[in-house]
Structure 1
Amino acid sequence: MPWFVWLLAAAALGAAEFFTLTLVLGLLAGAAVVAAVVAGVGVGFAGQIVAFAVTAAAGLLIARPLALRQLAQAPLSREGSDALIGKRAEVVREVTAAHGLIKVSGEEWSARSLDESLVIPVGAVVDVMEIEGATAVVYPRELLP
């Protein structure tokens, strides 16, 4: 029953990966599953070790770097309120450091000025610099007199 031992090892490594999220233990769990299949076919212990080692090496040397590179890339599109950052907006109600109202992408948002000394009048065009909760932090496209 060596295949059962390999499956137990795979389960233990998979559970450990769940808690560590290193992408190492999960690949070793996959290699243990391959070794369990090889053991189930009837290959001897040396063949099981070779199958485990080759699969683990392939995973760690090929699959892991590809997966890490993919995880490091920024998402192609922003969603939700993050999609508003960098957009132009029009001031609907005067914007100060404490309060105001803008219209961006067809929606009205509460807003405040990025520069606490600025008061942005109604009708001014602003850029959304960041979103803090339900408030857009804005800065005018053209400096005000």
Structure 2
Amino acid sequence: MSAAVIWLIIALGLAGAEALTGDMFLLMLGGGALAAAGSSWLDLPIWADGVVFLIVSVLLLVVVRPALRRRLTPAKSLPTGVKALEGKNALVLDRVARDEGQVKVDGQVWTARPLNDGDEFEPGELVTVMHIDGATAVVWKNP
């Protein structure tokens, strides 16, 4: 059996193993083995095939793999709904106290209550939405 056939078998084995992992590591090594199979058909010494395998595998791992992973990895999703309001600034419209108040967040008016029961915020103050509790914005003012 020639060295080229052995390198092809190794390349196919690595590509098949990559199907089980999905990490793109073994696929890059398979590309190196495929390049070594090509160099082995040029009747180069066996050590030259190993050098081709090493160089091509390292290049694929360093250059191609990061770009391929960025392209195939889904982007982190943006928060939607009430989760998107957390951390946003709000303008106090009506006095916010323990059981009363309104704030305007991103152009929408929300009923509001302070994070700490003793806090009170007057109209015109800027507060931060800590979280949404039902239909009420729980707000806090940075000191």
TM-score (norm 2): 0.53
Residues 21-60 of structure 1: pairs in structure 2 closer than 5 A: 25-39=23-37, 41=38, 43=40, 46-58=47-59
Counterpart of 1:21 in structure 2 is none
Q: Once the 2 structures are TM-superposed, how far is the Cα of residue 35 of structure 1 from its aligned partner?
A: 2.0
Residues 88-99 of structure 1: pairs in structure 2 closer than 5 A: 89-92=90-93, 94-96=95-97
Q: Distance in 1 between matches of 2:54 and 2:133?
A: 50
Counterpart of 1:128 in structure 2 is 128
The question of 1:9 aligning with 2:3 is answered: no
> Would the aligned equivalents of 1:95 and 1:113 in 2 still touch at CA under 8 Å?
yes
Q: Which amino acid aligns with 1:5?
A: I
The total of aligned residue pairs comes to 122
- Residue deviations 1:26-50, cap 9 Å, x none? 23421322322442x3526644432
Counterpart of 2:10 in 1: which secondary structure?
helix
5+ long unaligned stretches in structure 1: 19-24, 71-77
Give the share of equivalent positions with the same residue, in percent.
21
- Residue deviations 1:71-127, cap 9 Å, x none? xxxxxxx7655476243x223455346775421221234544233321335x24222
TM-score (norm 1): 0.52
Q: 1:34 to 1:110 in 2, by over 3 A?
A: farther
| Cα-Cα RMSD | 4.1
Q: Which amino acid aligns with 1:11?
A: G
